[in-house]
Structure 1
Amino acid sequence: MHAQDRKPQQHSFAYGDEEITFTLRRQPSRVVPRVAIHVEPDGRVHVDAPSTAPLAKVLAAVKKRSRWISQHVSAAKARLAHVLPREYVSGESLHYLGRRYRLKVVVEPEASVKAYMRGPFIIVAVPKHDTTTIRSALDDWYCQRAREVFAQRFLVIAGPLQWVQELPPVRLRFMQRQWGNCSPAGRITLNPWLVRAPRVAIDYVLLHEMCHLKHHNHSRAFYSTLDRHMPNWREIKEQLDERAAEYLR
């Protein structure tokens, strides 16, 4: 969730009958010699390692976790297999702040295009049933909601963080695989679709990115800071990853 120090490289190796492929991200600023392995919600594998660590040592560390990686990649692919592509028709399931709503498309020839929430429904009014128009209206609605929710939660999360003297510049950008990232200059980019997740998951992502304002890496110091301000973040991240395929589609 942060800007990498070097261009990532692809590597792979055999594990039984399968091939495990991972992206190696070299980090000159990573002072901890430990190799960190991450399996993303879509099954991609990222490995963070210091720039001084020999490739052979990195490969040995990754191969040692082959079984763990294989299990998590398989679980991610299984979750994705059950997620159907969205058709933008009435009755489809939508999420907002972790709660499930139903899409209701209202077609009225004189209607102005707009989306709004009413009871258990997220309603989209359109002059004719056009998938692109419905999707655009929903994206605009989620963006507006995301701006409001993120602004509120940033104030809450930033309060106890002594290294945050003022809120960082923030922009929204729809992303297929990331919830957010933090540039070396301290600008945070967030995925509006994160507003589909529960508030506690939103808080975790915001805290994660603000910790990168202090530690521009995934070092032990970074995780210690994250642990100190949100001791149960691993459980929250696991739950978010389990629903990522639904929230990101």
Structure 2
Amino acid sequence: MARHKRQRFRWPSDDLFGDIDVEVGWNPRRRTRMGISFDQDGTLHVEVPPGVALSEVRQVLQDHRRWVLRNVHQTEARDAGFPSQYVDGTILLHRGRPLCLRTDTTDEVRRDGESLLAPQHDTKRRVWHWYAREAAQVLAERLSATCPRLPWVMRVPVWRHSYMRAQWGSCSASGRLSLNTHLVKLADDLIDYVLVHELCHLKHLDHGPGFYALMQRSLPDWKERRRRLNERKALLAEPPPEATALA
């Protein structure tokens, strides 16, 4: 049997899907239904029965616009480590789990199940403020759970959080912790890894043998957690909202 016809193109730049590579294949094995899928490089593949016009393909994609855009944003987030834009359907991370951004006429950012509702205007700045509020609560919670497990930590040390571009956390010579607000996007076990790492610096300021021995006793799987954390490092590269001072 001859290989079925394929056509690769982009919709016109002023069209609904102008930035998406689309490959349409007319497959004789398909009788009535249309198949839609994404590959690893973000190309949208559509398989249709013979005789289906491109105008019909376009209409189906329009009908599934939300699904298409959500998958585009998931691909972008996977490749870049952070969303390229904060629009309806963007996939965000919170404590290691995906949240689907929904923009509407609301005046505040809030969770609604597996969605994050946010205003349509100034969305990124508002979401970053929401992350900052969440980080204050989540990091305090994880510190309260972690410190009692470490016998050399007598009390929760003085700490603060802020958006940082180079590191997940640090510990000063005086024992003050500086933590990255982006930590709130990670799973709790990765947050705990960063906290244990910095709390070990209360006994060993350097990364010498004593430090790593303490890490091993405190968190036997720390190397695996470090490996997973390094896979999330691209999160740190996200540029902040323009001309905005975040608390």
2:172 partner amino acid: S
| 2:102 aligned partner | 104
1:134 aligns with 2:123: yes
Instruction: Provide TM-score, normalisation by structure 1.
Output: 0.61
Q: State the Cα deviation string for residues 5-61 of structure 1 (Å, max 9, x = none).
A: xxxxxxxxxxxxxxxxxxxxxxxxxxxxxxxxxxxxxxxxxxxxxxxxxxxxxxxxx
Gaps of 5+ in 2: 1-75, 239-247
1:122 aligns with 2:116: yes
Identity of aligned residues (%): 34
Please report the RMSD computed on the Cα atoms of aligned residues, expressed in angstroms.
2.1
* Per-residue deviation, 1:184: 0.9
Q: State the Cα deviation string for residues 222-244 of structure 1 (Å, max 9, x = none).
A: 01001101000110111111122
Distance (Å, rounded) in 2 between the aligned partners of 1:80 and 1:147: 24
Structure 1 stretches of at least 4 aligned residues deviating more than 4 Å after TM superposition: none
Mapped contact 1:104–1:123 kept (Cα < 8 A): yes
Residue correspondence of structure 1 range 73-112 to structure 2 within 5 A: 82-83=79-80, 86-106=84-104, 108=105, 111-112=106-107
| 1:147 aligned partner | 136
- Aligned partner of residue 191 in structure 2, secondary structure: helix
Distance (Å, rounded) in 2 between the aligned partners of 1:94 and 1:174: 16
Q: Which has the larger radius of gyration?
A: 2
Which piece of structure 1 moves more, 203-212 or 162-171?
162-171
Higher RCO, 1 vs 2 (CA within 8 Å, ≥6 residues apart): 1
Cα separation, partners in 2 of 1:190 and 1:167, compared to 1, 3 Å: same
- Aligned partner of residue 139 in structure 1, secondary structure: helix
Gaps of 5+ in 1: 1-78
Cα separation, partners in 2 of 1:90 and 1:247, compared to 1, 3 Å: farther
Distance (Å, rounded) in 2 between the aligned partners of 1:150 and 1:141: 14
Cα separation, partners in 2 of 1:200 and 1:167, compared to 1, 3 Å: same
Mapped contact 2:77–2:91 kept (Cα < 8 A): no
Cα separation, partners in 2 of 1:81 and 1:167, compared to 1, 3 Å: closer
Instruction: Provide TM-score, normalisation by structure 2.
Output: 0.61
Cα separation, partners in 2 of 1:81 and 1:117, compared to 1, 3 Å: closer
* Per-residue deviation, 1:191: 0.7
